[in-house]
Amino acid sequence: MIDRTNQEWMEALRDPISSEALEDLRIILVRGLKASLSSRVKGDLDSLVEDFAQDALMKVLKSLETFRGESRFTTWAQKIAIHVAFTELRRRRWKDISLQDIIETDDGSEYTPKILTDPTATPEQKTTQRSILEMVQTLIDEELTDRQRDAMLAVLQGGMPLSEVAKHLGTNRNALYKLIFDARQRLQRRLYETSNLTAQDVLAIFEDKQV
């Protein structure tokens, strides 16, 4: 395989496209995707990776003029391939699961802090931790919109990817990130106002806990 500079890759992939360069890039993408996905997916990895590599090649060619040359061309192309693969894997994984299923799935409708039984925390720590967790739950109920609450539950508790939650809410991944970011900022501000604690205080209180 020819070792190409960024400029050489760009020239080879512009019309008329060099079939040799395209095949070299396909091989690079397949190799990278296999390394990424071998421990993450079950089933026919070769077929899956070939499909993703083909889709990624199309996207690379379509996006060619957006490449700014700040990284190696092959790193940029592999980033696209990973994004193509994970977008599709997430779509397949979550396609039959509704947002309501996720939001209503809970490990207990009643909030009971098991932290009280944590043997590594002192009684004082336990009390403080419990107080903070209860305060945050109250703030979630009182300060967030239904949409913010649903989005946070689906993402943080349900583990649903942002892109999939966004589809259910009729928005996009960026806008959803902003929605949750605004919610985090509001909760952060109100938590510190209410508790008179700082971020460092909170982290210290929960230090060495599995978070």
Query: Which residues sit at the interface with another protein, rule CB under 8 A?
Result: 32-33, 35-37, 40, 70-72, 75-76, 78-79, 81-83, 85-86, 90, 103-104, 106-109, 111-115, 132-133, 136-137, 140-141, 149, 152-153, 155-157, 159, 161-163, 173-174, 177-178, 181, 184-185, 187-188, 191, 199-200, 202-203, 206, 209-211
State which residue, 48 or 103, has the beta carbon closest to another protein: 103
Min dist CB 165 to another protein, Å, is: 10
State which residue, 16 or 73, has the beta carbon closest to another protein: 73
State which residue, 13 or 103, has the beta carbon closest to another protein: 103
Burial (CB < 10 A; 0-12, 13-18, 19+), residue 160, is buried
Instruction: Tell whether omega for the bond before 16 is within 30 degrees of 0, i.e. cis.
Output: yes
- Which of the 8 DSSP states describes residue 34? H
Distance CA 36, CA 25 (A): 16
Q: Count how many residues are written for the chain.
A: 211
Taking residue 123's Cβ as centre, other Cβ atoms within 10 Å add up to 8
